[in-house]
Amino acid sequence: MIEYRINNIGDFSPKVGELASMLEHTRAVTLEEIKDLSEEELDYLIDEGSNTIGSLLLHIASMEVVHQVISFENRDINELELKQWKSALELGEDARKTINKNTVNYYMDELSKVREKTLTHLKGLKNEWLFEEKEWGNGVPYNNYYLWFHVFEDEINHRGQIRMIKRLLFKNK
């Protein structure tokens, strides 16, 4: 059941628990949106330059992985991680070639594994961690709260794309 309240959803410090609640609500709505899609529907392309629903789902997972590394490990992704997630991160032609022929359960499992790691890390953090000031290489400041806001902001954006793809797909069937 999807929760329609922002609460501390578990053994988290108060603000971190609210963030976890928002992440989990965002994910629950995404999973509800895709749960009944077939492999063919997950691989549907509007045109030769678009992304599939499957690609967008792995992109959502890949963005969360990148933000895990940046915020929990204080580093950028390494070559091995980039190799694993590059197609999903960048989308486009390579994703169209390599991200296909997967079931909805595959995508749901990938999203779940990534989220489980996020929640495990968040449980050990205090509210102050959210507001720790850091700086990108170009001198622009940011904090962990913004990084994780961006994770669900990105997911919500791509869920909108998924809904549009579904409308066009089912309109054409």
Whole-angstrom distance, CA of residue 158 vs CA of residue 47: 17
Query: pLDDT tens digit string along 44-73?
Result: 999 999 999 999 999 999 999 999 999 999
Query: pLDDT tens digit string along 26-37?
Result: 999 999 999 999
Specify the pLDDT at position 65: 98
140 pLDDT exceeds 70? yes
CATH of domain 14-172: 1.20.120.450
Q: Give the start-to-end residue ranges of the domains of the chain.
A: 14-172
pTM here is 0.95
For 129-170, give the DSSP string.
HHT-EEE-TTS-EEEHHHHHHHHHHHHHHHHHHHHHHHHHHH
120 pLDDT exceeds 90? yes
